[in-house]
Chain A
Amino acid sequence: MDQTAERLLGSANRLSRDPETEIDWDAPVGDGYGMSPEWSTLYGTPYWDELTEAQQRELTRHEAASVATTGIWFELILQQLILRDVYDKPARSAEFQWALTEIADECRHSIMFARATERLVEPAYRPPFVTRELGRMFKALASGESAYAAILVAEEVLDVMQRDWMRDRRVEPMVRTVNHIHVVEESRHMVFAREETRERLAGAGRARRWVSALVIAIAADMIVSSMVGRQVYVNLGLDADRAVREARRNEHHRSLLRTSCANLMDFLGSVGLLTPAAARVYRRTGLL
């Protein structure tokens, strides 16, 4: 573990990004897409085709802001999980120092996302009340592989989307930069989360593995389903009932989600966290 942590610390030295100075927060924001339109929850549905191009673009900006808000919510959880985990670890160890580096990264990311959403759209988003309360419980209780694998799930889902958006010339340049900063730093976090998950699971019995697998799957469901909510459609003046209905049945979107989670599912499978019960949850959520 310490070897990985040392390497990651070295990598952070080689390239850490500072959104504060790298992004010109005073520059005017253009009217680009907030995310690749293909990633919109409505893309590929009849409703999408009825929208004007301007509406479609506005929708992606609100969706991007909503996803970023979910990102902030989870980063808050994550910071606490890590802080609790390293609470009594020796401060001189590379693992401890890397953990704090990660927290610092996440802290900067949350501020970056907050500022970016503020500049992108008018209304502020927040995950639904129930999700927030369940998150409160999770961050107080989760530990070991449940904590690290849940971190991994959240990071990985977001990461693959952002890799697409950052490369997409149609997306607003500020959003592209924000996404790249996140992608670079998350790649280190995911390496760390995988390593921790593997380590914590070594020697875990079947019962514990079963419970952890299910907890992680449910956390994944919460994260994914809270990314874009009803409020997004309401704020745009759309028929929210219809939008929610069509988004829920949107196989195009489900296919994109499955594709982005393929590596994650491979990893969970390889460490024995894809139990039948967990797999059922992932299939319902649309990740498998």
Chain B
Amino acid sequence: MTFVISGECCSDASCVAVCPMNSIHPAPGEPGFGAGASLFIDPRTCIDCGACADICPVDAAQPADRAAPEDVERNAAYFAEREALEATDLDSWEPPAYQVWGRGPQRVLVVGAGPAGMYATRELLLRTTARITVVDRSEQLGGLVRFGVAPDHPCTKQIIGTFERIVRHPRVRWLPGTEAAALVQEYDAVIHAVGARRSRRLGIPGEEAACTAEDFVAWCNGRPGAALPVELVGPRAVVVGNGNVALDLARILLSDQLDTADVSQQVRRTLAASGIKQVVLLGRRGPGEAAYTESALQELLAIAGDRVELRYHARPTGWTPEGLTLDTGETIAAGNLFTAIGFEGQPVDGLPFDAARGIVPNVRGAVVDRPGHYVAGWIKRGARGGIGVNKACAQETVQTLVSASRGAASQGS
């Protein structure tokens, strides 16, 4: 027996660090890390010790005999073309890298209590003696983990427990429901981890009557003040987008098992009453370019079966109450259009902004031409990568921040 990682993997790589056999890949720094959503365990070298499962913040690592067969297969398939790494040959491991201590800033402001902000706070606690203030516009911490992750993935939300412990640290001051602007002057350094919450637009006529992924997911998760901006009309809906968010959306629309999910009665009733029985998932490019992960697709197909239709190379040109028109002239009759074609960052007051990429321009997290200002998470690298990828991202930012006030990083051998 071995362990396997399921599709709920958060990729924060804490399992990579505890695996005594170097069996978990792609590790941070290896090709593919941060691109896909999942990490995999090499069944050829796993010794079944369970250290990965013990540390996994979202319970995605499981013994193979208790995991879904497709998870077992996916883990094995990832390594099919790769040589097994011989863990007892210690030179096949990455050498350690060290950060040399200096004084570092003493007062740091972290803006945003989502995964990027919380991982940055954690890293600051470990690497500096700074006092850290964390602010968020929302009254609750967790950001997209709380209000962006599909409600039928409760394991992923467990990570909020870790975040809550971080803000209880005596060197952390947590100010929920606070705007950052007034505070910035009081700090030696500011880490902006404000994410990229706004949905991208298709830019077609009639789109204002569609529902964005941002609105839908916020409504499902009960974000305070969030309302569903459209009336749900069956029997068919179109979801434009080929990322995991689009798949989440389609899955929730078609799921008959939301009873076990963490959603309000009202959300459940509205979905049940919608009469939506069929979803067309529209990719503007081919299946080869699709951004969803294999495991997310399997999960959707398992729940929705033939009630979901996957279409590729389809360019929408307009939306009317009759349906969605494509550039071929065809119209897909549907009651609702949902768009899930990615998120984009919004400009941050006082910082430069790269509108084309939707990010604050930065070098390894340091905002260009704004000393003392740093970015982490989606506003730093664009809206790509799952929750845990923010850990490596935040580590890089904090390393840059700390190095700015001290000597260069010391590379291990």
Q: Footprint of B on A, CB under 8 Å? A: 4, 7-8, 10-11, 14-15, 36, 38, 44, 163-164, 166-170, 176-177, 180, 183-184, 186-188, 190-191, 194, 250-253, 255-256, 258-259, 262-263, 266, 269-270, 274, 279, 283, 288
Contact = CB atoms under 8 A, between A and B. Distances in A.
A266 B55 CA distance: 9
Interface of B: 1, 14, 17-21, 47-51, 54-55, 63, 87-88, 90-91, 93-96, 98-101, 122, 125-129, 161-162, 165, 169-170, 410, 412-413
B98 A36 contact: yes
Given A187-B51, A263-B18, A288-B169, 6 more contacts: A15-B47, A167-B90, A167-B96, A187-B20, A191-B50, A256-B98
A11 B126 contact: no
A36 B96 contact: yes
B95 to A, nearest CB: 5
B127 to A, nearest CB: 6
Contacts of B128: 255
Contacts of B50: 4, 7-8, 11, 188, 191
A258 B95 contact: no
A169 B63 CA distance: 33
B262 to A, nearest CB: 20
Nearest to B162: A266
Given A38-B98, A251-B129, A168 B413 contact: yes
Contact of A190 (B14, B19, B51, B169): B51
25 contacts: A4-B50, A8-B49, A11-B48, A11-B50, A15-B21, A36-B96, A44-B100, A163-B17, A164-B412, A166-B90, A167-B93, A169-B95, A180-B20, A187-B18, A187-B19, A188-B50, A191-B54, A251-B101, A252-B101, A255-B101, A259-B126, A259-B127, A262-B122, A269-B165, A270-B165
Contacts of B20: 180, 183-184, 186-187
A283 B100 CA distance: 21
B132 to A, nearest CB: 14
B47 A14 contact: yes
Nearest to B48: A11
A184 B21 contact: yes
B162 A38 contact: no
A38 to B, nearest CB: 4
A244 B21 CA distance: 36
B47 to A, nearest CB: 4
Contact of B49 (A11, A166, A252): A11
A272 to B, nearest CB: 11
A112 B16 CA distance: 27
Contacts of A255: 99, 101, 126-128
A197 to B, nearest CB: 11
A168 B96 contact: yes
A185 to B, nearest CB: 8
Nearest to A164: B96
**Which A-B residue pairs are the 10 nearest by beta carbons?**
A252-B101, A169-B413, A38-B98, A164-B96, A187-B51, A187-B20, A11-B48, A170-B413, A184-B20, A15-B47
